[in-house]
Amino acid sequence: MTTPRVAAPRRTPPANPLFEYVLRVADDRLVLGHRLSEWCGHGPILEEDIALSNIALDFIGQASAMLALAGQIEGQGRTEDTLAYFRDEHEFRNALLVEQPNGDFAVTIVRQFLFDAWSVLVLDALQGVKHPQLAALAAKSLKEDRYHLRHSSEWMLRLGDGTAESHARAQRALDDLWRFTGELFETDAMDAAVAADGIAVDRESIRARWQEIVADVVKRATLTLPGDTQMATGGRRGRHSEHLGHMLAEMQIVARSHPGASW
């Protein structure tokens, strides 16, 4: 297992910060949606196979609309498909958490819970920003993500407070994934740059509320919150773990092998 390298802070803001900002929101959903779609046909029970595939579909749909918006903001003629299928690994802006492999069902659920609790809070903030299109997509996605959070938190309780085996696996997943949670609350030059566009998300207040939700569910699930640890970082600047490239290879191969194909 390698720890992603820490990238040097960006000295100058990017040419189009709003484009990059929307990419970050969209890429989290595209990558996590694809990861969840890998469960299709492999779920531990039929209902969960269907649930994870449904959630994947929500995320991919959200990503599609958000990438279309990003393309419009960029104004270079790139569509949601161009952005999804014809960017390389270093051009993706998702958090490292969502690209981590599915592992066992406990890993998938813990990853999902940590993300869902954060996502609901971020989307709630984004639905109030002064960019009408981004606010509309956030409000739409929030309705779906509230459902997702209920699903993943219920499974946290079932796995944590289930059998000795499910408890051990859930705890191991929580301990392993914890180091990817710090990145979710990072702020950088991009946040300052888009504040001028009326987009201000207070990540410190989101962090406080996220910690409350996570601590509450972890406690009720009879699990133990991991202690302070060195947090991994880099995804927002295109420095990814070794897992993303493999995922993209599979996600992009059809579009790249048959560019322009439609069906």
Partner 1 sequence: MNAVRPGRDDVLRILGTVMDPEVPVLSVVELGIIRGVDVGDDGVKITITPTYSGCPAMHTMEEDMRGALAGHGITAVAFETVYAPAWTSDWIPPEAREKLRQFGIAPPGPAEQGGLITLTRRAKPVACPYCGSEHTERRSEFGSTACKAIHFCNACHQPFDEFKPF
Name the site residues for partner 1 (rule: CB under 8 A). Answer: 33, 47-48, 50-51, 54-62, 64-65, 117, 120-121, 124, 132-133, 135-137, 139-141, 143-144, 146-147, 149-151, 153-154, 213, 216-217
Between 51 and 159, CB nearer to partner 1: 51
DSSP line for 140-191: HHHHHHHHHHHHHHHHHHHHHTS-HHHHHHHHHHHHHHGGGSGGGG---HHH
Six-digit token pair at 230? 């060195």
Minimum CB separation of residue 2 from partner 1 in Å reads 33
Minimum CB separation of residue 102 from partner 1 in Å reads 17
Between 149 and 173, CB nearer to partner 1: 149
Between 157 and 231, CB nearer to partner 1: 157
Cβ pair 96, 175 in contact under 8 A:
no
Six-digit token pair at 92? 């993706």
Minimum CB separation of residue 43 from partner 1 in Å reads 11
CA separation for the pair 144, 138 (Å, rounded) = 10
CA separation for the pair 62, 134 (Å, rounded) = 11
Six-digit token pair at 64? 């599609």
Between 28 and 190, CB nearer to partner 1: 28
Minimum CB separation of residue 137 from partner 1 in Å reads 6
